[in-house]
Amino acid sequence: MDSLVERLVKVVPSERQIKWQQLEFTAFLHYGINSFYDREWGTGKEDISVFHPKNLDTDQWCEALKAAEIKACIITAKHHDGFCLWDTAYTDHSVMHTPFKRDIVAELAKSCKKYGLKFGVYLSPWDRHEESYGKGKEYDDFFCGQLTELLTNYGEIYTVWFDGACGEGKNGKKQIYDWDRYYKVVRSLQPEAVISICGPDVRWCGNEAGECRESEWSVVPASLFSQKYIQEHSQQEDSEEFRQKGLTEQTKDLGSREVVKDTEELIWYPAEVDVSIRPGWFHHDNEDDKVKSLEVLKEIYLQSVGGNSVLLLNIPPHRDGYITEQDRTRLQELGDFIRNDFKDNLMTSNVTATSTDKGTDAKNIVSHDESYWKSEDYIDGCRITVDLGQPKEIKYVVLQEQIRLSQRVESFYVEGELKNGKPKVLYRGTTIGYKRICPIEPIEVSKVHVVFEKFRKSPTLKHMAIY
């Protein structure tokens, strides 16, 4: 047996990674002093007395997200400018020292609970306001203090999002972050939370355009999350020279056998696609007419959620504290698309497989529970067949591997049996992972075959749906 394959399939997700992956569609909320200064990056020298939203309503934010079928949100509790949206004891540069004087993190946490959304925090390590930034342990103490507040006073936190951005440049301040210490704080206070981006649990997909790789592997070389990598990356030292030294989050192929074959250590490090509904991350009046079209958002959704990634769509509230009508309309439309296109599941329990491992059953893929189908070990060219009973028009086939047994499928195709009995290939794909949505030119078929061409070890399916 190929030892590389054995090593690869041993790499599996943690429980917290599985829970995070199951959220599928999540939201970013970029809000803060930048919303008032019409900026993307603040300097840290802003006059915070201008922070005075007229109509801040976090329930309204949650309603807008729910309309789009979003399951969780992350607030920029502190962006690079250092302005804090919560009642912190560590600095006066916070919302409590503005005329507004309301703890926005607390209000949003409460609204999320009310609307059944998971709640996460973005805390920028790069802080342009804090005087101790660049002074080593002094700043680490400050940062861990802030983290502790956020992870203690606001209920359950599903993710802590550590941004790697730093614009200090060569002659700027240099803070060597004590990442291990930060991670210990998160693990001890919120053990279920995933630590994203500059953290061990969730990987940045490598762009902010909403683009996913055709083959998005969750099993990747551990070097993508080495201390050295995170440190250099968070100092923006990932220059051309840095990139040439090895794999980065931007590398096109992170997980094929060819790429990982000489890799000593492998990790489960799934991708997150973060993209804004508008050109900027923060709200700007002059971008109100630049909200992405429904067509673009649909495409992003199908590619990311349907491409083994979690989608993190940014919706920036207006400075006055609400999500604008333009964005709400689009979120409603996107939600309607998801509800309508994935409503009538045509999957039947008439499912058979050319090969089935003992203890599993092809019928298991109909249900959403943990049961699954697995082909017998080392059988090539196996397929799953779903008999629809009579010809029906189909538009999507959705496949999900049982990722508790790792990510195994390297290539597959979907074939339909036409009314005249002839087979037709409807979709060709590479990886599946947690979820692959296969869009199909609408066509009437009486049977659907999923043919597994290449896989690391006997393929698995936990769930399948046909729409």
- List residues near ligand FUL by CB under 6 A: 40, 163, 165, 274, 281
Nearest distance in Å: CB 74, ligand FUL: 9
Rounded to the nearest whole angstrom, what is the least distance from the CB of residue 314 to ligand FUL in the complex?
A: 7
For 40-51, give one letter per residue: b (16+ CB within 10 A) or e: ebbebebebeeb
Residue 71 CA: distances (Å) to CA of 24, 66, 211, 328? 8, 7, 21, 16
Give the three-state DSSP class for 351: strand
Select 40 or 299, whichever has its Cβ closest to ligand FUL.
40
Q: In the complex, which residue's CB is closest to ligand FUL?
A: 165
Rounded to 10 degrees, what is the CA torsion of 392, 396, 402, 403?
Answer: 180
Q: Which residue lies nearer to ligand FUL by CB, 40 or 336?
A: 40
Mapped onto helix, strand or coil, the DSSP state of residue 80 is coil
Least separation in angstroms between residue 125's CB and ligand FUL is 11
Q: Shortest Cβ distance from residue 1 to ligand FUL (Å)?
A: 43
Number of C-beta neighbours around residue 172 at 10 A: 15
Buried-state track 326-350, b at ≥16 Cβ within 10 A, e below 16: ebbebbebbbebbeebeeeebbeee
Structure tokens, 134: 């660049």
Q: Enter the tokens of residue 321.
A: 């504290």
Are the C-beta atoms of 146 and 182 separated by less than 8 Å? no
For ligand FUL, the closer CB: 209 or 425:
209
Task: Provide, rounded to whole angstroms, the least separation between the CB of residue 163 and ligand FUL.
Answer: 5
Gap between the Cα atoms of 322 and 316, Å rounded: 9
Tell me how far, at minimum, the Cβ of 123 lies from ligand FUL, in Å. Answer: 11
SS3 for 139? Answer: helix
**Is 122 or 139 the residue whose CB approaches ligand FUL more closely?**
122
Cβ atoms < 10 Å from Cβ of 296: 14
H-type helices in 280-404, by residue range? 294-304, 325-341
Smaller CB separation from ligand FUL, 55 or 239: 239
* CA–CA distance, 322 with 59 (Å, rounded to integer): 9
Nearest-approach distance from CB 138 to ligand FUL, in angstroms: 24
What is the distance between the alpha carbons of residues 65 and 313, in angstroms, rounded to a whole number?
10
Distance CA 375, CA 118 (A): 36
Estimate to the nearest angstrom the gap between the alpha carbon of 459 and the chain centroid: 24
Residue closer to ligand FUL by CB (options 196, 375) is 196
Nearer to ligand FUL, 276 or 430 (CB): 276
**Residue nearer to ligand FUL on the CB measure, 319 or 383:** 319
CB of 253 to ligand FUL, least distance (A): 24
Residue number with CB closer to ligand FUL (126 or 268):
126
CB of 194 to ligand FUL, least distance (A): 16
Which residue matches tokens 């649909």?
A: 298
